[in-house]
């Protein structure tokens, strides 16, 4: 049995603390982690749950961060669960930390409390997306850095490559998101970023990729600024759920043969839903900081929390942080 420890923010998320505790229990029941691997950061445990988690390590912390908390304020809230969790990462008391709380506050905590890795100027949110092939497509940055310099794309590429190795993608192809595939397309930052990546022999850089080709097998890693990346992500989510909604409405209004056809396609439709369901991905990695930091979806239920703990534990076991080339 290993001695890895993964912390979970008791107060993070719309459904906390119940969803967090139930997620921890879900993870233990399904043997994602053992009790020795799990640490709850926060101590407002209800009598209903206290006996069920009596064998877990609990670190006292306060519920001080809300969705309205400004990112910079978290640095003053040193008794908060988020601050304490990231501090434990820095001090190697945790090998990973998961939170479904305020994204901006978590990114600030990760950057300034846990600290950046040596040689990394800009940590980024790294996310696995579905694609037409069976391989995941990696998006960097998914929302951490709204404004970037061209040199930061090199950090994003290294972070994406490390995550690709974690997902068993060999020699992953890196592309820069652009408004066209031609060399003359794009703004100054994009063109300079492309030139930087071309000059890095250890990076398998394949050029530009357009947003409409994100799901094609043209590359494995897409690097972009966080403003663009987050908008791409939310557009994808919105479009996917719109299509599913319209499909359901069409079936509901259709005749007998439409409903029979839908019944025959039930298994395929369920597979499609699972492919775009955020709960199956566990969470978004914030790479480039000193430790495994996972941002779970704010509306995570117990299953999503359990999956976030699972991917954090496996990333720590894989030693993901050391895979980022410095």
pLDDT in tens, 136-183: 899 999 999 999 999 999 999 999 999 999 999 999 999 999 999 888
The pTM (predicted TM-score) of the whole model is: 0.89
- CA-wise closest residue to 195 among 167, 153, 240: 153
- Which range of 130-134, 176-180, 215-219, 240-244 scores highest in mean pLDDT? It is 176-180
Which DSSP helix (H) or strand (E) runs through 205?
A: strand 204-209
What is the reported pLDDT for 298?
A: 86
Is residue 273 pLDDT above 70, yes or no? Answer: no
Q: Are 105 and 16 in contact (CB under 8 A)?
A: no
In the chain, the N- to C-terminal Cα span, in Å, equals 30
- Model confidence at 46, in pLDDT bands (50, 70, 90)? confident
Q: What is the pLDDT of residues 91-110, one digit of tens each?
A: 999 999 999 999 999 999 99
- CA-wise closest residue to 177 among 120, 103, 233: 233
If you average pLDDT over residues 18-30, what whole number do you get? Answer: 93
What is the reported pLDDT for 278?
A: 46
Q: Cα(236)–Cα(238) distance, rounded to whole angstroms?
A: 6
What is the reported pLDDT for 265?
A: 67
Count of CA atoms in the C-beta half-sphere (13 A) of 79: 5
The dihedral built from the CA positions of residue 46, 49, 54 and 60, taken in this order, carries a sign that is: negative
Q: What is the CATH number of domain 1-120+288-326?
A: 3.40.718.10
Count of CA atoms in the C-beta half-sphere (13 A) of 219: 27
Q: What is the pLDDT of residues 208-238, one digit of tens each?
A: 999 999 889 999 999 999 999 999 988 887 8
What is the reported pLDDT for 269?
A: 61
Is residue 113 pLDDT above 70, yes or no? Answer: yes
3-class SS at 125?
strand
Q: Are 96 and 313 in contact (CB under 8 A)?
A: yes
Mean pLDDT (the chain, rounded): 90
What is the reported pLDDT for 179?
A: 94
Across 121-125, 242-246, 312-316, least confident range: 242-246
Is residue 135 pLDDT above 70, yes or no? Answer: yes
């Amino acid at each position: 049995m290993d001695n890895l420890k993964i912390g979970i923010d008791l107060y993070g998320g719309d459904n906390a603390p119940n969803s967090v505790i139930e997620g921890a229990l879900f993870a233990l029941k399904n043997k994602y982690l053992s009790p020795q691997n799990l640490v709850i950061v926060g101590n407002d445990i209800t009598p209903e749950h206290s006996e069920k988690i009596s064998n877990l390590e609990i670190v006292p912390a306060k519920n001080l961060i809300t969705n309205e908390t400004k990112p910079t304020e978290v640095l003053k809230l040193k008794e908060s669960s988020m601050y304490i969790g990231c501090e434990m990462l820095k001090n190697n008391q945790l090998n990973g930390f998961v939170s479904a709380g305020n994204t901006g506050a978590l990114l600030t905590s990760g950057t300034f409390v846990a600290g950046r890795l040596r040689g990394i100027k800009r940590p980024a949110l790294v996310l696995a997306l579905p694609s037409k092939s069976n391989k995941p497509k990696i998006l960097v940055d998914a929302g951490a850095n709204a404004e970037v310099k061209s040199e930061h794309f090199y950090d994003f590429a290294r972070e994406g490559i490390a995550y690709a190795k974690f997902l068993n993608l060999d020699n992953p192809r890196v592309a820069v998101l652009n408004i066209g595939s031609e060399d003359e397309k794009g703004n100054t930052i994009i063109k300079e970023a492309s030139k930087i990546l071309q000059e890095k022999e250890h990076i398998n850089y394949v050029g530009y990729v357009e947003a409409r080709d994100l799901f094609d097998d043209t590359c494995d890693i897409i690097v972009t600024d966080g403003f663009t990346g987050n908008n791409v992500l939310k557009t994808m989510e919105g479009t996917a759920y719109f299509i599913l909604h319209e499909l359901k409405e069409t079936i509901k209004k259709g005749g007998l043969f439409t409903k029979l056809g839908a019944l025959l396609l039930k298994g395929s439709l369920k597979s499609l839903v699972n492919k775009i369901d955020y709960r199956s991905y566990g969470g978004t990695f914030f790479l480039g900081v000193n430790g495994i930091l996972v941002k779970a979806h704010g509306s995570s239920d117990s299953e999503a929390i359990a999956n976030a703990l699972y991917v954090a534990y496996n990333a720590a076991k894989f030693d993901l942080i050391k895979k980022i080339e410095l």
